[in-house]
Chains A and B, each alone.
Chain A
Amino acid sequence: MSAGRDMKGDRSVENEAAFEKFKSCAVEVLQVPAEKITLDARFSDDLEADSLEVVELVMALEEAFDITVEETELEGVETIGQAFELVTSKI
């Protein structure tokens, strides 16, 4: 069971804390208002983030969550929700 799926239903306290941390990284790197960081927000359309900015965000997340994300794992990651799921699967 992945933590990301939990978010949609019974949200655990831990998950909420993780998402807040995720959100602050995204706000800092992508320079968008916090309310735009929602699970279904798309990097390109909703957040105007290009591929380099997604790489920079992942680097910030690696640091914040003390995880490692390989470049290949980013393929197909287009939304905040997908990125958050990727991160929480590694915690």
Chain B
Amino acid sequence: MELKRRGRRRVVVTGLGIVSCAGMSLDKFFEGLNGPAPEGDRRVRDFDPTPWLDVKQARRGDRFQQFSVAAAQMALDDAGELDPDPARAGVIFGTGVGGLETLEKQIQIHIEKGPRRVSPFLVPMLMANAGAAAISMRLGWRGPCETVVTACAAGTHSIGAAYRLIAWGRCDVVMTGSAEAAMTPVAMAAFSNMTALSTSGESRPFDRRRDGFVMGEGGGALVLEDLGHAQARGARIYAEVLGAASSADAHHITAPLPGGAGALACMELALEDAGISPSDVTHVNAHGTSTPLNDLAEAEALAKLFGSPTPPVTSLKGVTGHSLGAAGAIEGVATALTIHRRQIPPTVGLEELDPEIHIDVVTGGPRPFEDGAVLSNSFGFGGHNGTIVLATFRD
């Protein structure tokens, strides 16, 4: 793999944190991705914020913010002694929605008890940037602290933005990722009425019987670090971030461009940004939501980009469900683990490949990962496309 650095600094992944129904530690999560899928819905059951937040902080933070801080703290602990210059340490942490549960509860209070009973904490709990803000306060990091809100692409876009902050020299360390906790009755009804949710309740990415996504929630966090900074402190390196891309379909608020043209353009941009060619790619972590339109469009894009056969493709959403804005970060964590542990998780839930889909999907069990580059895709309502390129680290 011949890398064209173009004067950028090299960026590596040195810490990971996860809040997922598949597992609440890196080991349990990665094991959980092999299936079987959790029984029932994809809530993070019995989530207890108190290991990461005191009772008062937990009370002042929406569930999505609790996920954000928990994942970030796990990633920080995982990274070892970072000790960055606070002015050069940033936080780029996304979400699709923000504090929806809090908003719904306060709307109900407003209706039942009137305006005088609406919580003074509604605004700081509802705002989409609450997660990023809470992380920067906890860590004392004073560099850029921003939130990307691009629906289901928010996590992947966050990682891309964090990568650029380091590659272009503004930051030495960035805490990035995303979180979502939008499994409220109103949101479930809304997604159901737009016929996005699976009526069978089964998440079956790329399967001929797939009938929509299964809603999930959670959070993922990654510590991205300048390579020199990481090596100076002897950090363990999971993977290198080679590049990232972001583009828009400019087509329809929910449907992807026909033929996967948007996904294809984004992946091509990502390869160009990373300075690599399709033959360098040894795995794709797909968006693979289990909706009829997404999976077909993404598969068409992959087939066009790679020809036949494609590199091994997997979608984690058979296990994790679709956690909206958290998905990209959860999958980013999984991708870094895939590279580091040299094992590709299978696409759980896929029993019979859609005959219109011509890609090599990993099924039945994990497959060995061949060292190289990995694309991780996310596509969001609004036509937002995101791809990041992670790769085996070679000094």
Contacts and interface: CB of A to CB of B under 8 A. Distances in A.
B59 interface: yes
Contact of B119 (A56, A62, A63): A56
A62 B55 CA distance: 24
Interface string B105-125: 000000001001101110010
Given A52-B121, A56-B121, A31 B116 contact: no
A55 interface: yes
Dominant SS among interface residues on chain A:
helix
B117 A55 contact: no
B120 A31 contact: no
Contacts, number: 20
A59 interface: yes
Contacts of B119: 56, 59
| 7 nearest A-B pairs in the assembled complex, by CB-CB distance | A31-B56, A55-B120, A52-B120, A31-B55, A56-B120, A59-B117, A31-B59
12 contacts: A31-B54, A31-B55, A52-B120, A55-B120, A56-B120, A56-B121, A59-B116, A59-B117, A59-B119, A59-B120, A63-B113, A63-B117
* Centre residue among B54, B59, B113, B120 by max chain A CB count within 10 A: B120
Interface of B: 54-56, 59, 113, 116-117, 119-121, 124
Contacts of B124: 52
Nearest to A48: B56
Q: From DSSP, what is the main secondary structure of chain B's interface residues? A: helix
Nearest to A62: B116
Contacts of A30: 56
Interface size class of A (residues with CB under 8 A): under 10
A55 B122 CA distance: 12
Contacts of B116: 59, 62, 68
A59 B109 CA distance: 12
A30 B54 CA distance: 12
Contacts of B59: 31
Interface string A25-65: 00000110000000000000000000010011001001100
Contacts of B117: 59, 63
A90 to B, nearest CB: 15
Contacts of B113: 63
Contacts of A59: 116-117, 119-120
Given A31-B56, A59-B120, 14 more contacts: A30-B56, A31-B54, A31-B55, A31-B59, A52-B120, A52-B121, A52-B124, A55-B120, A56-B119, A56-B121, A59-B116, A59-B117, A62-B116, A68-B116
A62 B114 CA distance: 13
A78 to B, nearest CB: 18
Contacts of A68: 116
A46 B120 CA distance: 21
Contacts of B56: 30-31
Contacts of A62: 116
A56 B120 CA distance: 6
A63 B118 CA distance: 12
Nearest to B113: A63
Interface centre among A59, A62, A63 (most CB of B within 10 A): A59
A68 B120 CA distance: 16
